Amino acid sequence: MLINIQILRAYAAIAVAFFHINMPGLSSGSFGVHVFFVISGFIIAHSFVVQPDRFFLRRIIRIVPAYWACTIGIFCIALIRPEWLNSTTANTGKLLKSLLFIPYLKENGLMQPVLNVGWTLNYEMFFYLAVSISLWIAGNRYAVALTCVMLAVILRTLPGLCASDVCSFYANPISYEFCYGMIAYYLWRKRWLERIPRQMWMVSCLLFALALPLIEARIELPFSFGTASAGLVFSAAMLERPFSSVWKKRFVAIGDASYLIYLIHMYVIELFNKIAIPIFPVLTLNALFGVSLCLGIIIAVSIVLHRFLEKPLLDWLKEKLVPRRQHIPAALAASGGC
C-alpha cells in the first residue's frame, strides 16, 4: 500500500464532503473529484503492472458491492419515503441503468444515477473497460500508452459520431485525468527524478494542494484541475517512505474508508439537516462547529462500515473469485500495493 496515496484519498474524500455541505462563503472542495480520478489512474496502472491477472474482475469486486448496496438503499427510501429525497424517484428502469453503470438524464436535468455521486463511477467503469481492452491487445507492457491513445481517440470522435446525452457525457475531457494518473505512475515507477531533494517534493505537494482550491475559485493559474491533481499525486508518491506515525495511520484509516465517505456523505448531510438541526439548531451547517461535527460523523460512520462490513466482504469475494496472488518480482513487490 502506498501510504501517501491513501492520505490523498482521505484529502479528496473530505474535500468533496465539505463541498456538498455547502457552507456559506466557503463552498470549496469539488476539486476532490479530479484528485480521485488521477488517483484511480495511478492505482489502476499499479494494479495491472503488479497483478495483471483478472484485472477487470478485481476492479468490479472493489467498486460494485458498496455502490450497489447504497444504490438499492436509496431506491428503497425513494419507494417508501420519497419526501426524504430531492430528485430521486423509485423508477425501476433507472435503477437498472444505475446498477449497470449506464448514464441517463435524471429528473434534476443532470446525468446522475439513483445514487447522485455515482456519476463518477460511470467514468470509472468506462476507464476500466478501456484498460481491459488494452491489456488484452498489448499486455501490461504497453497498456498505459494504448489506453491513453484509445481515450484520446474516443473523446475526439464521440461528439461527431452521435449527439446523444450519453455520448456527450463520455466525451467530457475529465476522462483524460485517468491518463494523467497512469502517466504519473509510469514516471514514478521509472524513478527518473528520485535524486531531486525530498524537500522539493514537499514544497511541490503543498503548492499543488493549494492550487486546486484556487483553480476552483477561478483564479488564473498555469494549469488545470487535471494537471494540478497529477502533480499532487506524483509529488506525494515521490515522498513515499517506509515509515509511519500515529497521524499517518489515522489519515490512512480515513483513506481506506474514502470510497464509502464518497458514497454516503450526501445522505449523512441530508439526515443531519433534516433530523439533527431541527432538534439542536446550534448544529447549523452555517457555522464551523456544525460543519466539523457533520464531517466527523461522516468519517466515523464510513470507517466503521469499512472495517466491519466492506473490508470483510471484499476479502471474502477476493478469496472466492480471484486466484491466489502469483509470484511478484522483488523490484515490483518493493513498491507496495494499492
Maximum mean pLDDT: which of 126-135, 274-283, 301-310, 322-331? 301-310
- Of 11, 12, 13, 41, nearest in space to 234 by CA: 41
Per-residue pLDDT at 334 exceeds 50: no
Per-residue pLDDT at 149 exceeds 80: yes
pLDDT in tens, 250-259: 889 999 999 9
* Residues present in the chain in total: 338
pLDDT in tens, 67-116: 999 999 999 999 998 887 777 888 999 999 999 999 999 878 889 999 99
Cα-to-chain-centroid distance, residue 99: 18
**Amino acid (one-letter) located at 185:** Y
Residue at 338 is within a domain? no
Q: Is the dihedral of CA 205, 207, 211, 213 positive or negative?
A: positive
pLDDT score recorded for residue 159: 78
Residue at 303 is within a domain? yes
Q: Which CA distances in Å does 234 have to 2, 7, 115, 182, 227?
A: 12, 13, 31, 10, 10
On the CB side of 274, how many CA atoms lie within 13 Å of its CA? Answer: 10
Interhelix angle for 3-21 vs 31-50, to 10°? Answer: 150
pLDDT score recorded for residue 247: 66
Residue at 329 is within a domain? yes
pLDDT score recorded for residue 1: 64
Average pLDDT value for residue range 263-281: 91
Average pLDDT value for residue range 315-332: 67
pLDDT in tens, 197-242: 989 999 999 999 999 999 999 888 888 999 999 999 999 999 987 5
pLDDT score recorded for residue 69: 96
Q: What total number of domains does the chain contain?
A: 1
Distance CA 228, CA 215 (A): 9
pLDDT score recorded for residue 162: 80
- Of 69, 101, 128, nearest in space to 313 by CA: 69
pLDDT score recorded for residue 261: 98
Average pLDDT value for residue range 167-172: 90
pLDDT in tens, 15-37: 999 999 988 777 789 999 999 99
pLDDT, averaged across the chain: 88
pLDDT in tens, 277-314: 999 888 889 889 999 999 999 999 999 999 999 999 99
For residue 228, give its domain range: 3-333
Distance CA 117, CA 35 (A): 15
Per-residue pLDDT at 331 exceeds 60: no
What is the separation, in whole angstroms, between the first and last Cα of the chain? 4
pLDDT score recorded for residue 282: 86
What 3-state DSSP class applies to 110? coil
Q: What pTM was estimated for this model as a whole?
A: 0.91
pLDDT score recorded for residue 185: 93
- 120 or 323: which carries more pLDDT confidence? 120
Residue at 77 is within a domain? yes
Cβ contact 23:267 at 8 Å: no
Cβ contact 223:231 at 8 Å: yes
